[in-house]
Structure 1
Amino acid sequence: MVNYMLMISAELENLTDLQPQGGCDDANFAYYFKLKCGNCGEVTQKETCVSLNETVSSNKGRSETHLSQKCKFCNREGTVTMISGRGHPLTQADAEKGNYAPLMLFDCRGYEPLDFVFGVGWKVESIEGTVFTEVDLSGGEFAEYDEKGECPVMISNLRATFTVVK
């Protein structure tokens, strides 16, 4: 069992608190990433999707998990279980320092997560208090104008990494 923390970073212009639409523990938010088999090293061709509101029984029948699948190459089963309550939004202070913010913790057995994909369903707040919802980061950036604050807002240079957590 290895726990991987999804860490995100970005450049935020006049913005703060980048996070999934319903917060870091949003049950409906879909996390997309590739998986590397811990047995043979094969990497999935397509991104795998996991979310807190979807659980399955592991093939071994011992517990509930968010993903249970067999490696297409060596046929070994692996699971991914999400652990909520450990993430927080990326703030402007974090972004200015180039720091990463922890978003979600994944308990991976038989797999290693790779290559997180930013998609739709994000929320961010301007420094003037305007909340932007359903932000689409699939294109790698977001740019808008904050009417209330009378300033441009932008998210760019999105980065994500998985770090091992004890």
Structure 2
Amino acid sequence: MVNYKLMITAELENLTNLQPQGGCDDPTFNFYFKLKCGSCGEVTPKEICLSLNDVVPHGKGSTNLVKKCKFCSREGTVTMVTGQGRPLTQIQSQSSHYSPLMVFDCRGFEPLDFSFGDGWQVESLEGTKFDGVDLSGGEFAEYDEKGECPVMISDLRATFDVTK
């Protein structure tokens, strides 16, 4: 069993608290990434979509994904571990630190290449909330009328760190 912590960072201009729409443990938020087979090294050609709402019975319990490698036919699972994600703050952004978003317990697979999609929320330093932010294009730009300043998200980066 290997746990992978999804870590994100971005340039936040006049913004803070970047996270999925309903928080880091939002059951409806979709995570998109590729999987690498731990047996043969084959990488899925397309991204898989995974959310906390996806629950599949497996063995004596349940998991969020059961997948068979198309190359070697080995089966693997991915289970999402809640309670460890935190929003990306302006302070972390300014110092190029990453913030944990979700932990994945992967058996037989390794997650790769997280894709930022839609369904994000962020707030301006003046308190204006921006919901339903779409980051699939790689950036977000808007104007905060309350704070009378432009706001922007750019230079999105994600990595999967191995954790215990």
Give the length in aligned residue pairs.
164
Runs of 4+ in 1 over 3 A off after TM superposition: none
The code of the aligned residue for 1:52 comes to L
- Normalising by the residue count of structure 1, what TM-score does the alignment of the two structures yield? 0.98
CA deviations over 1:54-97 (Å, ceiling 9, x no partner): 10023xx3320000010000000000000000010000000000
Report the residue type matching 1:57 in the other structure: P
Number of the residue aligned with 1:8: 8
Partner residue, 1:128: 126
* Letter in structure 1 aligned against 2:71: F
Distance in structure 2 (CA, Å) of the matches to 1:45 and 1:87: 28
CA distance in 2, matches of 1:87, 1:74: 33
Q: CA–CA distance in 1 between the matches of 2:57 and 2:44? A: 21
| 3-state SS of paired residue (2:4) | strand
Q: Which amino acid aligns with 1:4?
A: Y
Q: CA deviation at 1:2?
A: 0.1
Q: Any idea what SS the aligned residue of 1:94 has? A: helix
Specify which of 73, 87, 90 is matched with residue 89 of structure 1. 87
Q: Compute the TM-score of the two structures, normalised by the length of structure 2.
A: 0.99
Letter aligned with residue 116 of structure 1: F
Amino acid at match of 2:9: S
Runs (5+) with no aligned partner, structure 2 = none
Please give the alpha-carbon distance, in whole angstroms, between the structure 2 residues aligned to 1:150 and 1:66: 43
User: What secondary structure, in the 3-state scheme, does the structure 2 residue paired with 1:98 have?
Assistant: coil
Aligned residue in 2 for 1:155: 153
Q: Name the residue aligned to 1:71.
A: 69
Please name the residue that 2:37 is paired with: 37
CA distance in 1, matches of 2:54, 2:147: 39
User: What is the RMSD computed on CA atoms of the aligned residues?
Assistant: 0.5
Amino-acid identity (%): 72
> C-alpha separation between the residues in 1 aligned to 2:72 and 2:91?
45
Matches within 5 A, 1:91-110: 91-110=89-108
How many Å separate the matches in 2 of 1:69 and 1:81? 12
